[in-house]
Amino acid sequence: MRKLFVVFGSLACSTVAMGQMGRSLDWPSFANDNQRTGWEKLDPRFTKDTVAKDFQFLWKMKPSGGGQHTLMPPVLIGTLIGYRGFKELAFIGDTSGALHVMDSDLNRLYWDKKFDYMADAPKAPTTATCTGGMAPPTLLSIGFRRPGPPRPAAAPVPGAPPPRPTPNLMFGPRAIYVITSDGRLRKVNAADGSDVSAPVAVLPANAKISALNMNDQVIYATTNADCGGAANAVWAVDIGSSDKPTVKSFEAKGGNFSGMGGAVIGNDGTIYAQGGAGDSLLALTARDLQLKGTFQVPGGLKSDVTPVVFAYKNRDVIVTAGKDGRLYIADSATLGGEPLGMSDLVGGSVWGGLTSWAEPDGTRWVLASSWGPVGDAKNGAVVAFKLEEQGGKVMLKKTWTSQDLIKPVPSVTTNGVVFALSSGDASTRMKAVVYALDATTGKELWSSKNQMTAAGNLTGMTIANGRLYVGTVDSTMWVFGVPMEW
């Protein structure tokens, strides 16, 4: 009994210590949360002082197997309690259809897995637009569990056995969810890469699938008509409804869904996606994807930008980019009406997605990564806006613009620090550079200078537990951070 007590006591102390050190945070999806903010709210290892003084290159990883494959920004499990002890794991997908899992603390391969295509879904030839592989994965994060609207109760059938209880994904092994290019959903045990359940077809084969988003046991994604003959559509894959997932879709005629983050989930469970006729912002009901409303502006919205959602005065607002070079604020309560507010001109062309964070006093910021001339930045920049009210109207006021960046991807932020990536350009051998900026002033705190040896691969960045992950076009994942204290 005493030994058992000691074991459990040690585990408890270890867990508490890891939590205090900020070593147990997940980054469960592209841009971290359901709202695609790119904001890590809780990590104490990132501060302006520690980044300016201690941030540095930690390690890099290039998967074995040969070939040039685009690496996706990893999803992270901050603490996996497995047979090899406590581990922080980074799950890195690539366009060959493989998942590489790294022990982030030790820079060691934990396991990797190549997904085989099924015979009934032959793989289509890859192109620069249709790269194949799989969608950026997602996981069910303990820290980001948010219930959606209640499920309607089924009418009882006389004489039928009672329905099976809905599985609770909180229990059982931690799992990574992947949709491969054969359109099959794979649920993989995070500890060893084994299949938790048999692969099941949920989407068209060889489609161009966005990063996955997950809430209330439903996985959401978008596809566009560029690849595989798939429709421009939003998809909902309900993995908690029965032994076999049920799939719903909403097909939008017109422009593609091509923003980096795919479907965005509001705090109330509403699904937002940008594209379709008139390049509108669509609001859909959770799970069954019924149209709730649309938002448009003169000249249209940019279908290659994923909107961002955050709470404002007890309801959600959605910020997105118009083709006229401004950001627009849509009110979830009156989605089909006039914009709640707009920004100053961004400059250049906003690309990929937006980032948002809030100061402790509630002051809200929105960051746009823009390509092309932005003021004195001739190639591109991150442009920061502060949400303000003037004369009873809401506006996004341009507050600072970063230094010149080449093809910047959506930034990520934590504890008053913004990480911006100048992706460079492979065609001109311009290499990627990461910058850490003061989130309220844009002042440079740190940069990677000439450490990276190739251009960025335009897939985004991940931050958690004192580390920043960036992929380059030579199939290398670069990791920068605050050195671990022993």
147 pLDDT tier (thresholds 50, 70, 90) = very low
- Residue 278 region, left (φ>0) first, then alpha (ψ -120 to 50), else beta? left
> Alpha-carbon distance 39 to 34, whole Å?
11
pLDDT value at position 160? 55
> Each residue of 130-143: pLDDT tens digit?
776 688 899 976 54
User: What b/e string do you get for 334-370 counting C-beta neighbours within 10 Å, with b at 16 or more?
Assistant: ebeeebbbbbeebbbbbbbbbbbbbeeeeebbbbbbb
AA letter at 115:
F
Helix, strand or coil for residue 271?
strand
pLDDT value at position 190? 95
H helix or E strand, kind and range, residue 49? helix 48-54
> Alpha-carbon distance 148 to 251, whole Å?
22
Which of 132-146, 243-257, 283-297, 457-471 comes out lowest in average pLDDT?
132-146
The token pair at 427 is 């065609």
> Alpha-carbon distance 256 to 424, whole Å?
26
> Alpha-carbon distance 414 to 158, whole Å?
55
pTM: 0.89
Cα atoms in the 13 Å half-sphere on the side-chain side of 162? 3
> Each residue of 230-239: pLDDT tens digit?
889 999 999 9
149 pLDDT tier (thresholds 50, 70, 90) = very low
> Alpha-carbon distance 439 to 453, whole Å?
27
